[in-house]
Amino acid sequence: MATNINQKMTDMTLVQAVTDALRVKLREDGTTLVLGEDVGKNGGVFRATDGLQEEFGEDRVVDTPLSEAGIVGTSVGLAVNGYKPIVEIQFLGFIYPAYEQIMTHVARIRMRTMGAYSVPMVIRAPYGAGIRAPEIHSDSTEALFTQMPGLKVVCPSSPYDAKGLLIAAIEDPDPVLFLESMRSYRSSKEAVPTDKYTIEIGEGKIVREGTDVTLIAWGAMVAVAEKAALEAAEKGISCEVLDPRTLYPLDRELIATSVQKTGRAVIVHEAHAMGGLGTDLVALINDTSFLYLKAPVARVTGFDVPVPLFALEDHYMPTPARVLKSIEQTVHF
């Protein structure tokens, strides 16, 4: 699962693990560049690139104009011409100006040139509700990208995964959207190897083993699912918690195996129900595990309304209570 694990470990938050991964690759690979709004002198609005411009210079860690299409479009040119841009979009909710570039170019240049050109790049974006950020900052729109063949989508839920997956993303020959849950940025620390290691893109993990029902969650929702699993355990329900970690391509086997074992699934995500990645997971389970299902697959999601201004965001988000209720309904179906 993880390669080159050095036993030297340091406690890190998720955002520190991100910085660490960037530092590892900036040191190792002279073609890597960090580009984005406020990533240089300021070290990023979440300090994800803190100290990197000092260490690697303005030429490698570049403050760009406020221009998402410009950042991503220019990175296409850089990538096709030998560089590895690691782009920060300040918040996922502001990626839309770059959507055309990502959809029509980033994801298609390999296909369009039958592999003669490719655009290995990483687009990092903080996302998700729960930190009382202003409007538009808090959306979970991963499904706008998982439906885009040519792109990979990764979303770590822990510091350890964040570092290993980000390094893997930077080394990936194809473009990767790397989603960082703002709510998870500093929610906990974990021992993380100080050296380089990678976690394979496309590999999910079992966060907690269980037998009655499979909970599938990513990003900040893993913690919510774990909390619900604990509460369910008190009621005698054994939950397996699965974090796919990569949202495209999904770890079909891990998911199918778990659901076939438990016969039940509850999917938890912040995005709306309609069009959320949960629907893909329902379809995946339908396709792979129909005969094993003892109950319909349940989804606990953000509601089908825009993510509200922050006074109501806690009401919008899945809570352990909502997940628990869904677990109970599924188990007692």
Ligand X SMILES: Cc1ncc(C[n+]2csc(CCOP(=O)(O)OP(=O)(O)O)c2C)c(N)n1
**Catalytic residue annotation:** 137
**Chosen from its own copies, ligand X, other proteins, none, partner binding at 220 (C-beta under 5 to 8 Å by type):** none
Tell me whether residue 14 or residue 317 sits nearer to its own copies (CB atom).
Answer: 317
Q: Which of 34, 133, 167, 281 touches other proteins (CB under 8 A)?
A: 133
Please report, as residue ranges, which positions from 9 to 38 form the binding site for ligand X (by CB under 6 A): 37
Please report, as residue ranges, which positions from 215 to 254 form the binding site for other proteins (by CB under 8 A): 248-250, 252
CB of 101 to its own copies, least distance (A): 8
Q: Which of 128, 131, 35 lies closest to 76 in space, CA to CA?
A: 35
| Binding interface with its own copies (CB under 8 A) | 93, 96-97, 99-100, 103-104, 107-108, 111-112, 135-136, 141, 143-144, 146-150, 248, 271-280, 282-283, 286-287, 290, 293, 295-297, 299, 304-306, 308
| 8 Å CB contact between 85 and 35 | yes
Establish if 76 lies at the interface with other proteins (CB under 8 A): yes
Q: Which of 50, 69, 94, 308 touches ligand X (CB under 6 A)?
A: 94
Q: Can you tell me the distance from the alpha carbon of 297 to that of 74, in angstroms, rounded to the nearest whole number?
A: 43
**Chosen from ligand X, other proteins, its own copies, none, partner binding at 188 (C-beta under 5 to 8 Å by type):** none
Establish if 274 lies at the interface with ligand X (CB under 6 A): no
Strands 239-243, 176-181: pairing is unpaired
Cβ atoms within 10 Å of 58's Cβ, excluding its own = 11
CA atoms within 13 A on the CB side of 326: 27
Take residue 21 and report the two structure tokens written for it: 């991964």
Residue 275 CB-density burial (10 A; 0-12 exposed, 13-18 middle, 19+ buried): middle
| 8 Å CB contact between 182 and 44 | no
36, 88, 312, 320 from 131: Cα distances, Å: 22, 19, 12, 17
| 8 Å CB contact between 115 and 106 | no
**Chosen from ligand X, its own copies, other proteins, none, partner binding at 283 (C-beta under 5 to 8 Å by type):** its own copies
Q: Which of 2, 187, 202, 205 touches other proteins (CB under 8 A)?
A: 202
- Contact window for ligand X (CB under 6 A) among 89-97, 221-229, 230-238, 255-263: 89-97
The per-residue DSSP string of 155-209 comes to --SSHHHHHHHHHHHHH-SS-EEEEEEGGGTTT--EEEESS---B-TT--EEEE-
SS3 state of residue 252: helix
Please report, as residue ranges, which positions from 8 to 47 form the binding site for other proteins (by CB under 8 A): 37-38, 40-43, 45
Establish if 81 lies at the interface with other proteins (CB under 8 A): yes
CB of 25 to its own copies, least distance (A): 28
CB of 326 to other proteins, least distance (A): 10
Q: Which of 82, 236, 290, 332 touches other proteins (CB under 8 A)?
A: 82
Establish if 66 lies at the interface with ligand X (CB under 6 A): yes
Enclosing H/E stretch for 145: helix 143-146
| Closest residue to ligand X using C-beta atoms | 94
Enclosing H/E stretch for 302: strand 298-302
Establish if 288 lies at the interface with other proteins (CB under 8 A): no
Residues that bind ligand X (CB under 6 A): 37, 66, 90, 94, 97
